[in-house]
Chains A and B, each alone.
Chain A
């Protein structure tokens, strides 16, 4: 009898051991997140000022700022949004509402899933050859926006499809029964209901694009720009490339600038993600999905 009790005790102890181990791992993951944020805040808070936001990069670290990088990022993202919204939503509507069930549709679907797993730097090589060289756009904002558009389109399409799928079928049937065409049904019934879900997908895509560095370096975005871009064909730099540039310098003061710019970048990324999470929760509770 004593042996059995001991055995049970041993097995329960193992159980507790595992829970402790898991909690340790979760704490490790959360702690590294915390450490990352705290170490960056400590390194960078002192450089953040209006001057930091409104100055051009400089050879002197104390005078350098992120103006051209911030403006470059905004330009690239705005133009990217102009591409991904119609194309992403249109492609998703086609696949969900219009596409016949055939080999081609299946092929497109598999393609989109596969593209989502291609390393971002490969998109940089594609953009370099197609947009920069073949279409002659040069190392411009437009080439950057197009490259990032191709990079995030798969995730926009996947998110939009999910949102459209969640719209109850009865809504479509009611609209079709009243004599509306398929497109009228999609335009006036399905899209308004799916809108928060679609928006969530687009915001997440923007939040991913804002931090993308490698593909833009590959297409030849500059690392040092002391003027503001004027047209979509201007050369440009973006916030993460400016950060990378400062990290790669040996002087400690530039590392502080990098940390300061990271604070701005993380702030923007987290705000976008937070908006997306709130939007998604609202959407889910509204339609009880």
Chain B
């Protein structure tokens, strides 16, 4: 009898541990919603969506989210432009061309690339890539969107490459063999048969990479500057949502003040965007896996 009670107690404790993840999700949504509603009690949502400047820390306060959004999307877009062609061709090369033994060496290297703390990438962007860009484009500012965008791109190559590679490896051999039998070369098979078949898996990799770039904080905080400007010019300072949250957190903002609430309001925007992209990416991948695993 004692054994059974012990069994039940342990099971219940572990159940509560498993529920912590649910509490975390609800906690995040509750905290963000609660403070965001407080924020919109003081600043109308119309100002948030229509004003073209973001200056809550200045004397003349403007609360338009667009400059932060444009900064976030600009750096993430540059990151995807870098990491998509690179990640995909690395994935194709690793899954279709590379001998098995080399794979065993390349994979840990890619894992190490993925384990480097982002503050280190930030250092690299500000003190290595930006000076390098300055030699090529003399008009570029010390803080700009291009340099952190490029480094963000390098950072998410592992994400894009590994998920794309997983997708490619799911494509059945028979499809490739049919293509070879018709006289196609390996490259033609990859581009005309394998890639179209794996397209939704690869799309899911790109969306996930984009979402990672949007949520990344330290690289853009260090190298992109802290000037929320509504622009798509990659050569001048901008500010992302994440960098704004850090900027406020570093100052002595009293809890409960309007400035304090702004970080939750923009946090809510950030969470909604990344959450949507993650769900789309996850669903695409699940659908893709299901279509090939019988």
- A residues adjacent to B (C-beta < 8 A): 11-12, 14-15, 18-19, 21-23, 25-26, 28-30, 32-33, 35-36, 39-40, 43, 86-88, 90-91, 93-95, 98-99, 107-108, 111-115, 117-126, 128-130, 133, 150, 153-154, 157, 181-183, 204, 207-208, 210-214, 217-218, 220, 223, 240, 243-244, 247-248, 255, 258-259, 262, 265-266, 269-270, 273, 277
Contacts and interface: CB of A to CB of B under 8 A. Distances in A.
Contacts of A122: 28, 32, 215, 267, 270-271
B218 interface: yes
A213 B117 contact: yes
Q: Is the interface of A mostly helix, strand, loop or mixed?
A: helix
Interface stretch (B42-50, B162-170, B174-182, B183-191): B183-191
A91 B17 contact: yes
7 contacts: A25-B89, A28-B86, A115-B24, A118-B275, A157-B21, A183-B7, A262-B123
Contact of B120 (A19, A95, A214, A265): A265
Interface in B101-154: 106, 108-113, 115-124, 126-128, 154
B19 interface: yes
Nearest to A23: B93
Contacts of B271: 118-119, 122
Contacts of A22: 89-90, 92-93, 97
B199 interface: no
B10 A183 contact: yes
A154 B121 CA distance: 24
B127 A255 contact: yes
Contacts of A88: 17
Contacts of A243: 119-120, 123
Contact of B25 (A90, A95, A111, A217): A111
A11 to B, nearest CB: 5
B155 to A, nearest CB: 10
Interface string B261-278: 001100100110011001
Contact of A273 (B25, B31, B115, B208): B115
A79 B145 CA distance: 37
Nearest to A208: B115
A11 B185 contact: yes
A154 B118 CA distance: 20
B75 to A, nearest CB: 14
A211 B119 contact: yes
Contact of A111 (B22, B122, B157): B22
A119 B277 CA distance: 12
Contacts of A117: 208, 211, 274-275, 278
Nearest to B26: A111
Contacts of A121: 215, 217, 242, 245-246, 267, 270
A244 B119 contact: yes
A29 B7 contact: no
A208 B116 CA distance: 8
Nearest to B260: A128
A91 B211 CA distance: 27
B71 to A, nearest CB: 15
Contact of B123 (A87, A129, A214, A258): A258
B13 to A, nearest CB: 6
B160 to A, nearest CB: 11
A95 B35 CA distance: 33
B21 A129 contact: no
B259 to A, nearest CB: 13
B76 to A, nearest CB: 12
B249 A217 contact: yes
A125 B271 CA distance: 11
Contact of A270 (B6, B17, B112, B157): B112
Contacts of B15: 94, 98-99
B291 interface: no
Given A111-B25, A181-B7, A266-B116, A26 B93 contact: yes
A187 B267 CA distance: 42
A29 B274 contact: no
B24 A150 contact: yes
Contacts of A87: 17, 20
Given A15-B185, A98-B14, A273-B112, A130 B21 contact: no
B26 to A, nearest CB: 9
Contacts of A23: 93
A130 B215 contact: no
B242 A119 contact: yes
A25 B109 CA distance: 14
Nearest to B88: A25
Contacts of B86: 25, 28-29
